[in-house]
Amino acid sequence: MNGSIQEHKEIINLLGGGKKLTERLKLLSNETINEKTVYSWVRQGIPDKWKVAVSRCLLEDSIDIRNYKNLLPPGLHIDNLFSANNSVKIFSSSKVLKTDESNLQNIIDKDQLLKLYEMMIKIRRFEEKVGQLYSMGLIGGFCHLYIGQEGVISGIEMLADNNDCFITGYRCHAHMVTRGEPMVNIFSELLGNFSGSSKGKGGSMHMFRKENNFFGGHGIVGAQVPIGTGIAFANKYKNKKSVTFTFFGDGAVNQGQVYEAFNMAALWQLPIIYIIENNQYGMGTSVERASAMNELFRRGESFGIKGYEVDGMDPLSIYGNLQNICSKIREKPEPILIEAKTYRYRGHSMSDPGKYRTREEVQETRENRDPIERIRALLLSKKYITEDKVKDLDKRIREEVAEAAELAREKNLPDNEDLYRDVYKELDS
């Protein structure tokens, strides 16, 4: 086997073998390619037409392509790819962040892992109770549940500082729970009671907790992105070491105001992490049908914003992969785009029957990728907790949620006069 083919064989192995490389090349090209073809390259070498795409895969995995002299197609010299400071010129630094389970499990201790698990259980039991109250007719308006997506917000909460800021769209109950708002206040807000977090005026889509730097819950698709950018600008202007976590969905990613915000964030190098919670469906439309380019983590490339895809169904992947990113942003501000690949088990809202996907699709994700089950299994395998303790924990949280919901149902509705209060903020004299 000549040197060129031996080199190409090594490259294919480095990229995970024929099967994994085939899937990646399908995403990078509109051309049809199958595993059999890629496996044939082990014996025949990588064809010139695929060398640039394979080079990009190597760069995404932080593998120095300068070690492979026979990879580049005719007419393209290695110096054409790199600038004087050795940064890549024609390839993006955006990439998929791999999940190394053994490494991730070692960066979190027993107490943190238990805290993470309890946080996700609390979100899920809370949302299940919300769904029940909505079905009983006690919660009105639109209501969007977070069930299935718990790994995203929980993983980020584990690495966030108290001074960091959060803002999201209308799927916001979970963020209120993790930001520390008492559950009875959140239930009261959902029920429209005066003792709610926003005195019953915000409801499901407009949660808010300024005390813990949670700036909403926003009902207009994508509206939170420029607002979050403004918060990041304020923090930088005030020389704070805060990171602003701005959440939005795959359905919001095509909004024009998102890209206006990206431009400002890149221009002013703001300390912000944009998090696309890609749950695969914008309302009832899949990402593939709604977005011409569905590698959403690359959407900031034209502004020079680096993007990364992470497994949103694995809270340890979120926590581990974003730790260094957050630390760097605190010291040297810059915007970063994260696409957290996740999945919602319920419909877009409580009024969505979800007929655009099969029950088998939902069940397969529940059984094989559930974020709570993933952490539960890890706790048990490390003998940090027993099955009996798991059941006791779940029972305690169910009781806390049920008690908070009952207390909220006993609270009073606002008086009619309250409609005219809090319309404008009173300025201090």
Count, residues in the chain:
429
Give the start-to-end residue ranges of the domains of the chain: 3-91, 101-409
> Residue 132: which of 395, 363, 350, 391 has the closest Cα?
350
Structure tokens at 192: 């429209």
DSSP code per residue over 365-377: HHHHH-HHHHHHH
Q: Helix/strand/coil (H, E, C) string of 224-292? A: HHHHHHHHHHHHHHCCCCCCEEEEEECCCCCCHHHHHHHHHHHHHCCCEEEEEEECCEECCEEHHHHCC
The answer, yes or no, to whether residue 254 has pLDDT greater than 80, is yes
Note the pLDDT of residue 370: 97
* pLDDT score of 139: 95
Contact 144, 204 (CB under 8 A): yes
Rounded to whole angstroms, what are the CA distances from 154 to 41, 113, 248, 314, 372? 43, 11, 16, 10, 10
Kind and range of the H or E element at 165?
Answer: strand 165-167
Q: Mark residue 282 as left, alpha or beta (left: phi above 0; alpha: psi -120 to 50; beta: remaining).
A: beta
* Residue carrying structure tokens 């909460």: 157
Percent of the chain with pLDDT over 70: 93
CATH class for the domain made up of 101-409: alpha beta
**Residues contacting residue 229 through CB under 8 Å, at least 6 positions apart:** 244, 246, 261, 264, 265, 270, 272
For residue 72, give the DSSP letter: S
Out of 35-39, 144-148, 265-269, least confident range: 35-39
pLDDT at 69: 76
Is residue 105 predicted with pLDDT exceeding 80?
no
Confidence of residue 94 (pLDDT cuts 50, 70, 90): confident
Helix (H) or strand (E) holding 155, with range, is helix 150-157
pLDDT tens digits for 294-340? 899 999 998 989 999 999 999 999 999 999 999 999 999 999 999 99
Calculate the alpha carbon distances from 148 to 184, 276, 344, 352, 372 in Å. Answer: 23, 15, 5, 16, 9
Instruction: Specify the range with the lowest mean pLDDT, choosing from 12-21, 66-75, 85-94, 216-225.
Output: 85-94
